[in-house]
C-alpha cells in the first residue's frame, strides 16, 4: 500500500516560496511511515535510496518514491520548531486546562479571606 505518506513540493509546485524541495505533507495512519514512527509531517526529504531530490519536478519525485522498492532509505531534514513553541498541539503532554495562576490566585484570595474571618471571630471571643 505504498510508503504511507504524501509529499508536496518540487520545481513546478513549490510548497514554500523560492524552495523547490520535497516535504512530507501527511503521514497516513497505520501506513508504513506511521508504523515506523521516525518520519514526521513537515520533514524535508533530501534523498531516496541515495538519489538526491534536489531540482526535481513533483511528478518525478513521486515516481522515485513509487519505484523505491521494499527497503527504502530516506535522508531527511527535520523541520525546525519556532522559538515560541510548537506549530500545533499534538499531545505534547500539556493538559490544555486552566493556567496555574487561574487556580492559585482565587485559592489564595479565598484562604486570605478565611484567615481574616477567623481572626475577626477570635477577637470577639
Domain definitions of the chain by residue range: 5-77
Q: What angle do CA 48, 70, 6 make, to 5 degrees?
A: 55
- Of 3.40.190.10, 3.40.50.970, 2.30.42.10, 3.40.50.10490, the CATH number of 5-77 is 2.30.42.10
What pLDDT, on the 0 to 100 scale, is given for residue 123?
72
* pLDDT tens, residue order, the chain (125 aa): 689 999 999 999 999 899 999 999 999 998 899 999 999 999 999 999 999 999 999 999 999 999 998 889 999 999 765 555 554 444 444 445 556 566 666 666 777 777 778 777 777 66
What pLDDT, on the 0 to 100 scale, is given for residue 55?
93
Residues 6+ positions from 40 with CB-CB distance below 8 Å: 24, 27, 78, 79
Number of neighbours of residue 32 by Cβ within 10 angstroms: 16
CA distance 125 to 120: 9
User: Looking at the DSSP assignment, which residues form a beta bridge with residue 24?
Assistant: 7
What pLDDT, on the 0 to 100 scale, is given for residue 38?
92
Helices (H), 1-125: 32-36, 58-66, 100-124
- Exposure string of 76-96, with b = 16+ CB inside 10 Å and e = fewer, is beeeeeeeeeeeeeeeeeeee
Amino acid at each position: 500500500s505504498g510508503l504511507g505518506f504524501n509529499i508536496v513540493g518540487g520545481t513546478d509546485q513549490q510548497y514554500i516560496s523560492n524552495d523547490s524541495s520535497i516535504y512530507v505533507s501527511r503521514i497516513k495512519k497505520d501506513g508504513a511511515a506511521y508504523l515506523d514512527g521516525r518520519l514526521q509531517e513537515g520533514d524535508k526529504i533530501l534523498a531516496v535510496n541515495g538519489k538526491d531530490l534536489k531540482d526535481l519536478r513533483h511528478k518525478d519525485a513521486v515516481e522515485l518514491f513509487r519505484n523505491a522498492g521494499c527497503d527504502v532509505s530516506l535522508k531527511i531534514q527535520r523541520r525546525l520548531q519556532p522559538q515560541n513553541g510548537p506549530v500545533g498541539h499534538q499531545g505534547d503532554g500539556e493538559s490544555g486546562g486552566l493556567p496555574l495562576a487561574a487556580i492559585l490566585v482565587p485559592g489564595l484570595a479565598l484562604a486570605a479571606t478565611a484567615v481574616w474571618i477567623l481572626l475577626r471571630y477570635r477577637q470577639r471571643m
